[in-house]
Amino acid sequence: MWLSNRRIFLAFGGAFLAGCALQPANQMQSVDRILSAITLETPRDRRSFYFRNALADRLGASDPAPRYGLSYQLSTAASRSAIAPDGRSLRQQVEGSVTFMLRDLTNNTVVYTQSRRAFVGYSTNGSSAATQAAARDAERRLMHQLADEVIRDLMFYGAA
């Protein structure tokens, strides 16, 4: 009879779960320790500036004495993805890739390396100012996507 009362069931269920000491499966403390011990290289152009800022936002505060250094190589290529009957491009697709290396700064050895790819699109069906603004926004979005891929890979590396 008392099990039919949902409030009592939920109260006992909540008390049971509150007493359970759940631990994350991927050992987030070691991941946080690795991510906070990474220093990033200085940006060289607008793309690497967007990429580095996106990485810095996701990594959070870094250690004053970092143990790892992250170096990366970015590349992008644009192609038309929609063409009007008169030959004008209506959409552009920008594909990007990043190859990154995580180095141990104590002995300068590469401890992890990986490559990732992503793509974004934007409309070219407006004024030249609107098209330039859309192209810059697409470049920024692409660098954010690539930074997310790098952070995900580094989290998997730290969890292993």
What residue ranges do the domains of the chain occupy? 24-159
Listed in sequence order, the residues at least 6 apart from 143 whose beta carbon sits closer than 8 Å to its beta carbon are 47, 50, 51, 54, 74, 96
Q: How many Cβ atoms sit within 10 Å of the Cβ of residue 66? A: 14
Listed in sequence order, the residues at least 6 apart from 117 whose beta carbon sits closer than 8 Å to its beta carbon are 95, 96, 97
Chain segment 31-82, per-residue pLDDT in tens:
677 777 888 989 999 999 999 999 999 887 767 788 899 999 999 999 988 8
Q: What is the pLDDT of residue 26?
A: 47
Taking every pair of C-alpha atoms in the chain, what is the biggest distance, in angstroms? 76
The whole-number average pLDDT for the span 116-137 is 94
The whole-number average pLDDT for the span 93-122 is 95
The whole-number average pLDDT for the span 95-103 is 96
Sign of the Cα torsion 124, 126, 128, 131 reads: negative
Chain segment 129-139, per-residue pLDDT in tens:
999 999 999 99
Look at residue 8 and tell me whether its pLDDT is greater than 80. Answer: no
Q: What is the pLDDT of residue 16?
A: 55
* DSSP helix/strand/coil, 7: helix
Q: What is the CATH number of domain 24-159?
A: 3.30.160.150
Does pTM top 0.85 for this prediction?
no
Average pLDDT, the chain: 84
At residue 113, what are phi and psi to the nearest 5 degrees? -145, 150
The whole-number average pLDDT for the span 83-108 is 92
Q: What is the pLDDT of residue 121?
A: 95
**Burial class of 24 by CB neighbour count within 10 A (0 to 12, 13 to 18, 19+):** exposed
**Burial class of 158 by CB neighbour count within 10 A (0 to 12, 13 to 18, 19+):** buried
Q: What is the pLDDT of residue 55?
A: 93
- Which tokens belong to 96? 């990007």
Q: How far apart are CA 62 and CA 105, in angstroms?
A: 14
* DSSP helix/strand/coil, 86: coil
Q: What is the pLDDT of residue 11?
A: 60
